[in-house]
Amino acid sequence: MSSDSAPIDHSALRKKYREERDKRLRPDGNDQYIMPSGRYAHFLEDPYVKPVEREPRTGEVTVVLIGGGFSGLTAGARLKEAGVDDVCIIEGGGDVGGAWYWNRYPGAMCDTAAMIYLPLLEETGHMPSKKYVFAPEIFGHAQNIAKQYGLYDQALFSTQVTGLEWDAASARWTVRTDRGDVLRARFVAMGTGPLNHPKLPGIPGIESFEGHAFHTSRWDYDYTGGDAKGAPMDKLAGKRVGIIGTGATAVQCIPPLARASKDLYVFQRTPSSVDERNNHEIDPEWFGTLEKGWQRNWLENFATLQTGGITDKDLVKDGWTDIAQRIRGRIMETIRNSPGVQIDEKFLRRAFQECDDEKMEEIRARVESIVEDHGAAQALKPWYSQLCKRPCFHDEYLQAYNEPAAHLVDTDGKGVERIDATGVWVAGKHYEVDCLIFASGFQFGSNHMRGGGFPVVGRDGLTLQDAWAEGMKTLHGMHSHGFPNLFIVGPSQGANLISNITHNLTEAGTSIAAIVAHALERGAEQVEVTQEAQQAWVDMLTSTRRGFMGNPDCTPGYYNNEGGPIGQRELLGGAGYPKGPVAYFKYIDKWRRSGEFEGLEFR
Ligand code: NDP
């Protein structure tokens, strides 16, 4: 597209991006959000199942996995493969699945290609139905992993961990829950996820709304009709619906809402960048030709291309790898046209910026070519670099604004002004709604990074909160000194590959299984990272700014601490291996295979 149009004025774009960012900067940063409470306290409850009555569980377990999402499931699967059978998942939801248990909103799907996002495809033999699969298939895959690996046998669902305490005398963790369980665990892995608590915008008057309301992660199909599998939401036919938020979730649920509601008011603060999806079915014949070990190759290929590396083939070929491919093309072109030219960091930065500008011009042109209403089309254009916010991909989102029921209410970066008993105010105008849907996202950062959640009391009474008072401190994002036999699972301080979260988790699961099996084999009661190894890792992480907290120039969002100051805590919480995810995966594989587990002490 851009090759046919006028050349891009890069400096004018920089100015426009800064102006748009400045409109959105707010002194309260992250504090603009509130946890659901009062009238909205039930947003934290599980609408899908009633907790099963059961007696509290006590006794000894080899490994407790906190969280039944893909962290817990992949760790559980790898532990079982390593011969560690005594594994107990503790999960707040009524089943496994994590984000895919909670997020059942209409249209929910994964933005990362299923061939790489769904873990353990070769182990389970599951063939994804499409290039990008919908939430029910992902939830089903999670359930199948749990079934295949016997992870349901001991699992405790609808159960929240309330505290972990290290008992040095017995070298066991005491795990307490809100169902009265008191387990003594030899090892504990916490896969509690960085985005697992729904948050609400602290808009004045939010408590006063008297209509129906819910958060997207607790979709109320009783009210809307329809179901998570895509049945139309017939009960909305006569309803005026308002939705606050236009992030990755809203982009997916707005099309079905626009088709079902009498009127749909979309209250927008910042438009998402929405590239094409181009979904298609997976051909079983082709899938059958894939050779053993294919998923690892695909994972490596995607991670390489998505993080700026070069390979011969683009196996996934999607919006995530597109920008990397463009940069590669530019480098090749430069080398062809000017042999001997130096491809240094400055060149790469410029190439990235120019390719990004080109991409974003295409995304803006796409809005214009799809959205019929001129005003709406202008307001739906994103003015920031593509990776400032979670990029979105959809073939029905922009089209939804051509539905007669859909009304875009753009707030020009200011956000909703206030909420009252009957509706929403923007720029002095009142929009009356019967139902208000909060697509306002999730509190970012692990509970411990943010000082919430359950207490974790390690050796000598040290709490994880205190240990991390100045920021997360670990080896590999997983081991924290003072907390023997505890594994923290998440992308931070490891590969930090955010375009394919499960890749981080599967690797973490493999590490946990290797360490636990090694400890059991040697009869080691305790495994702990040394202070020196932890410090060396943290020093290495802070030697660069790689990580997704790195760009304060971006429009505010949870990737950059809502535009607030990025201090040591934020840098550490968002840090990744300086040489990038691909190098990290190679490093950690070697680290595990060596059998030395350098940096850990087995006692
Ligand atoms: P987000 O945090 O991305 O979006 C919240 C939205 O609420 C933003 O559009 C935000 O605007 C808006 N908002 C907040 N306050 C106000 C206000 N006062 N007035 C108006 N609007 C407001 O949440 P999502 O649930 O969309 O996504 C969360 C994450 O979940 C994603 O980033 C992604 O990681 C994950 N996800 C992944 C998917 C996948 O395919 N794997 C699919 C869906 C979600 P602003 O942008 O201005 O802050």
Give the mean pLDDT of the chain.
93
What band does 564 get if pLDDT is binned at 50, 70 and 90?
Answer: confident
Contacts for 200 with CB less than 8 Å, ≥ 6 apart: 33, 34, 35, 36, 40, 43, 206, 215, 438, 440
What band does 340 get if pLDDT is binned at 50, 70 and 90?
Answer: confident
Mean pLDDT of 597-603: 98
Distance from the CA of 441 to the center of ligand 1, in angstroms? 5
Q: Tell me, what's the pLDDT at 2?
A: 43
Distance from the CA of 107 to the center of ligand 1, in angstroms? 15
User: DSSP 3-state assignment of 441?
Assistant: coil
Cβ–ligand 1 distance for 415 under 6 Å, the answer yes
Contacts for 549 with CB less than 8 Å, ≥ 6 apart: 559, 560, 561, 566, 570, 571, 573, 574, 575
Q: CA 503 to CA 498: how far, in whole Å?
A: 9
Cβ–ligand 1 distance for 439 under 6 Å, the answer yes
Cβ–ligand 1 distance for 245 under 6 Å, the answer yes
Q: CA 171 to CA 60: how far, in whole Å?
A: 12
Q: Tell me, what's the pLDDT at 411?
A: 98
CB 196 within 8 A of CB 184: no
What band does 3 get if pLDDT is binned at 50, 70 and 90?
Answer: very low
Q: Tell me, what's the pLDDT at 445?
A: 63
Please name the helix (run of DSSP H) or strand (run of DSSP E) that holds residue 77, with its range, or none: helix 70-81
Comparing 184-188, 214-218, 446-450, 486-490, the range with the smallest average pLDDT is 446-450
Nearest CA to ligand 1 atom 3: 247
User: DSSP 3-state assignment of 532?
Assistant: helix
Q: Please, what is the end-to-end C-alpha distance for the chain in angstroms? A: 62
Q: CA 371 to CA 258: how far, in whole Å?
A: 14
**Higher per-residue pLDDT: 432 or 557:** 432
Nearest CA to ligand 1 atom 10: 245
What band does 274 get if pLDDT is binned at 50, 70 and 90?
Answer: very high
Distance from the CA of 390 to the center of ligand 1, in angstroms? 8
Of ligand 1's listed atoms, the one at least distance from the Cα of 270 is: 47
Cβ–ligand 1 distance for 390 under 6 Å, the answer yes
Distance from the CA of 280 to the center of ligand 1, in angstroms? 26
Cβ–ligand 1 distance for 307 under 6 Å, the answer no
What band does 452 get if pLDDT is binned at 50, 70 and 90?
Answer: very low
Percentage of the chain with pLDDT > 70? 96
Cα-based distances in Å from 417 to 269, 379, 430: 11, 18, 10
Mean pLDDT of 182-186: 98
Mean pLDDT of 438-462: 79
Q: Tell me, what's the pLDDT at 343?
A: 79
Q: Tell me, what's the pLDDT at 451?
A: 43
Nearest CA to ligand 1 atom 2: 441
What tokens does 492 get?
């931070």
CB 187 within 8 A of CB 442: no
Query: pLDDT at residue 319 above 90?
Result: no
Contacts for 294 with CB less than 8 Å, ≥ 6 apart: 122
**Higher per-residue pLDDT: 317 or 419:** 419
Nearest CA to ligand 1 atom 18: 415
Torsions phi, psi of 281, nearest 5?
A: -70, 150
User: DSSP 3-state assignment of 110?
Assistant: coil
Nearest CA to ligand 1 atom 45: 270
Q: How does strand 442-443 pair with strand 197-198? A: antiparallel
Nearest CA to ligand 1 atom 31: 248
Residue type, 500: N
Query: pLDDT at residue 447 above 60?
Result: no
Distance from the CA of 195 to the center of ligand 1, in angstroms? 11
Distance from the CA of 521 to the center of ligand 1, in angstroms? 45
CB 61 within 8 A of CB 154: yes
Distance from the CA of 446 to the center of ligand 1, in angstroms? 17
Torsions phi, psi of 209, nearest 5?
A: -65, 130
Q: What pLDDT digit, counting tens, does each position of 15-50 carry?
A: 999 999 999 999 888 889 999 999 999 999 999 999
What tokens does 343 get?
């491809």
Of ligand 1's listed atoms, the one at least distance from the Cα of 110 is: 40
Q: What pLDDT digit, counting tens, does each position of 105-141 carry?
A: 999 999 999 999 999 999 999 999 999 999 999 999 9
Cβ–ligand 1 distance for 196 under 6 Å, the answer no
The best mutation among 206, 249, 253, 411 to test binding of ligand 1, ranked by most ligand atoms within 8 Å of the C-beta, falls on 249
Mean pLDDT of 46-56: 93
Distance from the CA of 363 to the center of ligand 1, in angstroms? 19
Q: CA 546 to CA 591: how far, in whole Å?
A: 21
Cβ–ligand 1 distance for 440 under 6 Å, the answer yes
Q: CA 223 to CA 235: how far, in whole Å?
A: 7
**Higher per-residue pLDDT: 409 or 310:** 409
Q: What pLDDT digit, counting tens, does each position of 509-554 carry?
A: 999 999 999 999 999 999 999 999 999 999 999 887 655 455 667 8
Q: CA 167 to CA 237: how far, in whole Å?
A: 58
Distance from the CA of 246 to the center of ligand 1, in angstroms? 6
Q: CA 89 to CA 145: how far, in whole Å?
A: 13
Distance from the CA of 438 to the center of ligand 1, in angstroms? 10
Q: CA 484 to CA 526: how far, in whole Å?
A: 6
DSSP 200-260: EE--TTGGG--SEEEEGGG--HHHH-S-TT----GGGTT-EEEEE--SHHHHHHHHHHHHH
What band does 192 get if pLDDT is binned at 50, 70 and 90?
Answer: confident
Q: CA 86 to CA 303: how far, in whole Å?
A: 33
Q: Tell me, what's the pLDDT at 194?
A: 66
Cβ–ligand 1 distance for 215 under 6 Å, the answer no
Q: CA 311 to CA 35: how far, in whole Å?
A: 44
DSSP 448-473: TTTT-SS-EE-GGG-BHHHHTTTS--
Residue type, 289: T
What band does 485 get if pLDDT is binned at 50, 70 and 90?
Answer: very high
Percentage of the chain with pLDDT > 90? 79
| Domains present along the chain, CATH in parentheses | 10-44+198-277+356-438 (3.50.50.60), 58-197+444-529+581-602 (3.50.50.60), 287-353 (no CATH)
Contacts for 184 with CB less than 8 Å, ≥ 6 apart: 59, 60, 61, 167, 170, 172, 173, 174, 175
Mean pLDDT of 66-82: 97
Q: CA 532 to CA 510: how far, in whole Å?
A: 24
